Structure 1
Amino acid sequence: MRTLGIDLGSREVKIVVMEDDKIIKKQKISTMSFYRDYCSFDGKIIVDLNKLNIDNIDRAVSTGYGRNNTDLNKFTAINEIKAHVYGAFYQTGLKDFILLDVGGQDVKVVKVEKGIVTDLELNEKCAASCGRYLENMANVLEMSLDEMSKYYENPVELNSTCAVFSESELIGKIAEGISVERLCSGVNYSLYKRLKPLLTKFKGRQLVLTGGVANNIGIRKYLKNDYDEIVFVEDTQFNGAIGCCFYANNFTR
């Protein structure tokens, strides 16, 4: 059986195709390009699978930021919590864990016990605790996200709680002659500080990291002080789309 999962992210659309429960295709497309170049509208959004070089799909499931305002024809929609938990099941084989998913514009913390979601916390209101904050700061520092993510030692203190005001604060630190390394560490640590209050109520031994920010080396280092084990999945950004395929394979007929 061939299944298709689509995660409609705020910045990118992630696409996964599985055949007999194995991933055979992964693809990322900017959200704007996806709707403009690969979709049409006839009462519902119709995805042109031929343009995506996808065929012979038996079941298709969608999730993501655009799930509530984008009705994909011929797709079963599931909420993001389900999708990311199912993705973690597939990628880790674990049934007891804390899931931290930091996306471009939201954060999800989910407690899973014996394969069941028992608690969750969401932050969809402030960009300062999301990937967009890191993108903005990397632009101010004129470096790539990957390069900025490497630093975690001796962070400069950044106190602003607003993503917009944080840019001005960072520019002020640059003007003071603070080293680039400390500035990068400060950016990473400031995001960690905003994530920590969301995590304090979730006690568990294993923390599963997903989402684009899971690739941030600095934040990984800081989180290691709070959990016995940090579990890194191979396809952090595709986890939601993988979860869609897992759902299609196991819960649809």
Structure 2
Amino acid sequence: MILADFGTSYCKFLDLSSPGKGPVLTPTKDIPRDLRVDLATGHNGKRFSEHYVNELTALARGGEELIDEDEYVLLDCGSRDIKFVAYRNGELADMGWNVECGASMGFTIELLERYYNLDYDQLPVPDRTFSVTCGVLGMSHIFDAVSSGISEAESVARFVKGIALNAFRFAGLPDTLYLSGGLCDNKLFTQSFPCRLVPLGRFVLLKGLEKIAEERF
């Protein structure tokens, strides 16, 4: 059985028939149009699968498998949206999915790194930030700052910190926040959160699918 998380920028696959083989990461643009998998989630999950699971459901089940706590908040930051699940007393208590205010957030952050030839692992967290509620619209802050004489690196760093703070507020301002998604590998982004942050990597939804497959099939 093949599981897949079809993201906007990257797709994650797991072949349950190969127990020793871990998840495979593939750029979405390289996915064959006639591809079919057994169980999927993600933006294009319905298109490529026999059985589909809602992303919030996959995120919640993945969190249950990876987080050994009764109360926590798990935030997933993707290329095109942000979503969270919150647990209290071991039960799902709240959830949220923001496409508009999280629009192209992860994609924009990745694009800016390439465009300005930056390395987020080397950029320090800035003291100041921009008020950013949308990845695309927020880029105007960068252009204005660069025009005023602020360096490109500093301007982008302020933008990334603004994105992180917006995501933090969306998740409910928790003292501890578990993070899912490719931005777990972005040092500038993860260090911009004003709370204890626990990165879980980009395969949390895939872990949720694995548990669902175990129960259903």
Q: Tell me the TM-score range normalised by the shorter chain.
A: 0.7 to 0.9
Matched with 1:96 is: 71
Matched with 1:188 is: 160
Distance in 1, Cα, partners of 2:151 & 2:211:
46
Distance 1:118 1:23, change over 3 A: farther
Distance in 1, Cα, partners of 2:52 & 2:137:
37
Matched with 1:252 is: 216
Report the CA distance between 1:9 and its aligned residue: 1.1
Report the CA distance between 1:138 and its aligned residue: 2.1
In the alignment, structure 1 residue 27 sits paired with structure 2 residue 61: no
RMSD, matched Cα = 2.8
Alignment of 1:192-231 (within 5 A): 192-200=164-172, 203=174, 205-223=175-193, 225-226=194-195, 229-231=196-198
Distance in 2, Cα, partners of 1:123 & 1:129:
11
Greater CA deviation, 170-179 or 79-88? 170-179
Give the TM-score taking structure 2 as reference length.
Answer: 0.83
SS in 1 for 2:23: strand
Distance in 1, Cα, partners of 2:122 & 2:64:
28
Alignment of 1:44-193 (within 5 A): 46-47=36-37, 60-68=38-46, 70=47, 72-73=49-50, 76-128=51-103, 130-143=105-118, 147-159=119-131, 161-193=133-165
Distance in 1, Cα, partners of 2:210 & 2:97:
23
Larger relative contact order (C-alpha < 8 A, sep ≥ 6)?
1
Distance 1:241 1:28, change over 3 A: same
Report the CA distance between 1:152 and its aligned residue: 4.0
The total of aligned residue pairs comes to 217
Distance in 2, Cα, partners of 1:198 & 1:177:
31
Q: Which runs of 5+ in 2 are unaligned?
A: none
Matched with 2:14 is: 16
Give the TM-score taking structure 1 as reference length.
Answer: 0.72
Report the CA distance between 1:167 and its aligned residue: 3.0
Distance 1:127 1:209, change over 3 A: closer
